[in-house]
Structure 1
Amino acid sequence: MSRMLRVCLIFHSTRSDNLGVGALTVSEIALLRDLAAKAGREIAITVLDWKDRRAPYVAGDDLRLIEVDGAFLKSPKGLWAEVKAADLVIDIGGGDSFADIYGASRLVKMFWMKFATHLAGTPLVVAPQTVGPFTKGWSMRLARMSLNRSALVAVRDERSRAALDDLGYRGAPVLASDLALRLPYEPPAPRDAGPVRVGINVSGLLMAGGYHGGNDFGMALNYPALIARTIDWFKGQGAEVHLVPHVIVPEGPMVIEDDLHACEALAAEHDVICAPAFASPSEAKSYIAGLDFFTGARMHACIAAFSSGVAVVPLAYSRKFAGLFGALGYDHTVDATKADADAGMAALEQGFADRDSLAAEAKAALARGIDRLAAYDAALLNLMKAL
């Protein structure tokens, strides 16, 4: 067995209130352990983890978690020391944060961590994620500089690959898919005939109109009104309606992101079921897997349905949805930045009627996604062997 391989993960999280970010991290750690065994290397994984209240989703003797705050980012004994000591740094960008649509603060932290890695001389891997959109000159320049200094760049859809070209990336990116397609879960037990179970993931952030309450994401429809209409329509079909949170923020400055409070309020108002506050991404996926039809505005809630064989009609606020699902040949995403409420409702009604065929399409598309992820596996394995 060769010398232990030291890998540092940035913009991952083992305990994020956003279970989508957690799903990516759990899947990445499982992949690293598998690839290290194939490479004949012991591995030590350090996650530079943002502070959250919940317990970590993943553990092990090979795993070390370090809480990140402003002081850590600035200290020579903090971020710099960790990326300098690592053999490899992997950045998954929270899945879709490598863009300037979420504001400058998050992006500046990301650039800070990327360039610390470059300055330390440690190879940086851009794990499969959405790249862009970038609309500002400063962010485009910094993105181009970092990408061209990275040892490996992987994206999860063709639109992100095109964004790399627009930025002036000179390398050959790996066209992969979303790592959370592999997130483990408990398949549901067979059940007797009963009402069709419909899951609706409600985004607390979209219910609030975005971070600033002014339709920050440019929705072409009234999201709260559509959700109320959707719940009532499915109830009218005799369905058992489940409202499913996927970002769960009990309190604090980011409570505006919380889905659970929105789901609880709507469940009480419409007399439907509210799913529990899940402790982990796999727990959420296991619950979603027991449904018959799903729709949602959190992409990883939709991925949980898609990758567990549940018919899903994603309700998109960003191009990342159509990019990911469309790349796999699953073209049932509603673009809520373009479609009005009637068009969105019509797509949900049609998807519900065709749920058996959508489930079959999802199964075939998932197989394509797993095949595409193999390209990332191979590229990362070769890099680990070279180290």
Structure 2
Amino acid sequence: MQIVREVAQELGFEPHFTLIGMRDPASPTEEASDLQVFDVTSGSLINPRGLWACIRAQDCVIDIGAGDSFAEIYGAKRFTYLCTSKLMTVMADKPLLLAPQTIGPFTSPLYKGLARIALNRAVSVLARDRQSLSAAQSICPGGCNGLATDVAFALPYAPWSGAARARPAIGINVSGLLYRDAQAGVNRFGLDYDYVELTQSLIRKMLDDKGAEVHLIAHVRSPETPEDDDSTVCDEIARQYPDTIKAPHFAGPSEAKSYMSGLDLVVGARMHACIGAFSAGVPVIPIAYSRKFDGLFGTLGYGRLVRAQGMGTDEALGYILGSFDARAEIKQEIADAASRVDSFLSVYRAELRKLFGMIGG
């Protein structure tokens, strides 16, 4: 929204936003005078006065697909919503811009067919990594496809200004999704590492061998979907390891980024926690569970991550511990890669200018 505001104001007008999404009561929502919120429910998808009426009231729709949800890996329910909102937009003859996001994978003919309609009718499609761009081009080779990067790199924050710490401060962003799956013996993402064992071993090694402060950072707070909630898992781990520090519940993403800016290393299994650390200049090791991690960071020329396939638990642990010792080197690698972020986001800004030119004259 901040990027959109900046481009709109540059062109001489003030935007008004309707934030359309499936809201989680535990997730913070930005409050602003130029913002109203439309909560999508199952009923609103079929009620003519619901989502359809909301979309028809807009001048354009900028659809970010929850960043990574325009794909089939999260199941039919989420894909149905993501596709329905796009198809309603084109049916209402409203300009649709797909903001930088992961696109695909799509393997099912049904998913591919529905995705093709949305991609073909959008005025612009921006992938946030080369793999997604390739997926979009393979489904819709004649579409207006471009390469940008994740908008969260531009998230404002207040750099940490506290006193110097006596010990290195390591943030571990624990994914409730991966942790609960591993506890249940489920491996829906085909991981070569055991996420619970990796997390537990990493905490012990950081506390005992490296003498570090270990900060447990929850990214997803979702009491209504406990199988995806990071916070309750962090609570359990904090009770198991009382020497760890449980990060507070943040009022919003900027506060989380500000907190992480004071850490010496972040190991994260949620991509936007990793983006927050990276864009604050903090050495970060993403623990990937899908191609979106490698695609996003690889597009920026940053290859420090534990991939979903190719590393067992012991190898992944050794890699992270080695990264702890190489923090200064990684910090420089991040600075080099961060210089590419602005050029990729400029692609998004250019497409927004075109969009606003279409609707505003």
Superposed pair shares fold, TM > 0.5? yes
How far apart in 2 are the matches of 1:341 and 1:31? 39
Shift of 1:56: 4.5
Residue pairs, 1:322-333, within 5 angstroms:
322-333=294-305
8 Å Cα contact 1:244-1:275 kept in structure 2:
yes
Residue pairs, 1:120-135, within 5 angstroms:
120-135=92-107
Residue pairs, 1:29-48, within 5 angstroms:
29-48=1-20
Residue 104 of structure 2 aligns to a residue whose secondary structure is coil
How far apart in 1 are the matches of 2:21 and 2:102? 20
How far apart in 1 are the matches of 2:29 and 2:190? 33
The aligned counterpart of 2:170 is 198
Could you tell me which runs of 5 or more consecutive residues in structure 2 were left unpaired when the two chains were aligned: none
Equivalent residue in structure 1 for 2:128, among 126, 136, 156: 156
How far apart in 1 are the matches of 2:205 and 2:177? 23
TM-score normalized by structure 1? 0.89
RMSD, matched Cα: 1.6
Residue pairs, 1:302-381, within 5 angstroms:
302-381=274-353
Does residue 97 of the first structure (1) align with residue 48 of the second (2)? no
How far apart in 1 are the matches of 2:192 and 2:292? 17
The aligned counterpart of 1:247 is 220
How far apart in 2 are the matches of 1:346 and 1:295? 13
How far apart in 2 are the matches of 1:367 and 1:213? 41
8 Å Cα contact 2:60-2:94 kept in structure 1:
yes
Equivalent residue in structure 2 for 1:237, among 210, 218, 225: 210
8 Å Cα contact 1:90-1:124 kept in structure 2:
yes
TM-score normalized by structure 2? 0.95
Shift of 1:210: 7.0
Higher strand share: 1
Shift of 1:215: 1.1
Note closer, same or farther for the CA distance 1:113–1:55 as it changes in structure 2 (3 Å cut). Answer: closer
Deviations 1:244-272 (A, max 9, x none): 110012x22x1111111111111221221
- The amino acid of 1:266's aligned partner reads I
How far apart in 2 are the matches of 1:109 and 1:207? 26
Shift of 1:216: 1.2
Does residue 257 of the first structure (1) align with residue 224 of the second (2)? no
Deviations 1:189-210 (A, max 9, x none): 1523510000111111111117
How far apart in 2 are the matches of 1:110 and 1:192? 45
8 Å Cα contact 1:205-1:211 kept in structure 2:
no
The aligned counterpart of 1:72 is 44
Equivalent residue in structure 1 for 2:241, among 270, 273, 277: 270
Residue 3 of structure 2 aligns to a residue whose secondary structure is helix
Note closer, same or farther for the CA distance 1:212–1:47 as it changes in structure 2 (3 Å cut). Answer: farther
Shift of 1:54: 4.1
8 Å Cα contact 1:48-1:67 kept in structure 2:
yes
Deviations 1:105-154 (A, max 9, x none): 11011111111111111011100000011111100011111101101110
* Runs of 4+, deviation exceeding 6 Å: none
- The amino acid of 2:226's aligned partner reads V
8 Å Cα contact 2:26-2:221 kept in structure 1:
no
Residue 76 of structure 1 aligns to a residue whose secondary structure is coil
- The amino acid of 1:247's aligned partner reads V
Residue 286 of structure 2 aligns to a residue whose secondary structure is strand
8 Å Cα contact 1:336-1:344 kept in structure 2:
no
Equivalent residue in structure 1 for 2:82, among 110, 129, 152: 110
The 10-residue stretch of structure 1 (337-346 or 223-232) with the greater mean CA deviation from structure 2: 337-346
Deviations 1:74-108 (A, max 9, x none): 11112111212211111101000010000011101
How far apart in 1 are the matches of 2:241 and 2:216? 11
How far apart in 2 are the matches of 1:126 and 1:360? 32
8 Å Cα contact 1:154-1:173 kept in structure 2:
yes
Residue 303 of structure 1 aligns to a residue whose secondary structure is helix
Could you tell me which runs of 5 or more consecutive residues in structure 1 were left unpaired when the two chains were aligned: 1-28
The aligned counterpart of 1:382 is 354
Residue pairs, 1:216-231, within 5 angstroms:
216-231=188-203
The aligned counterpart of 1:289 is 261
How far apart in 1 are the matches of 2:79 and 2:201? 36
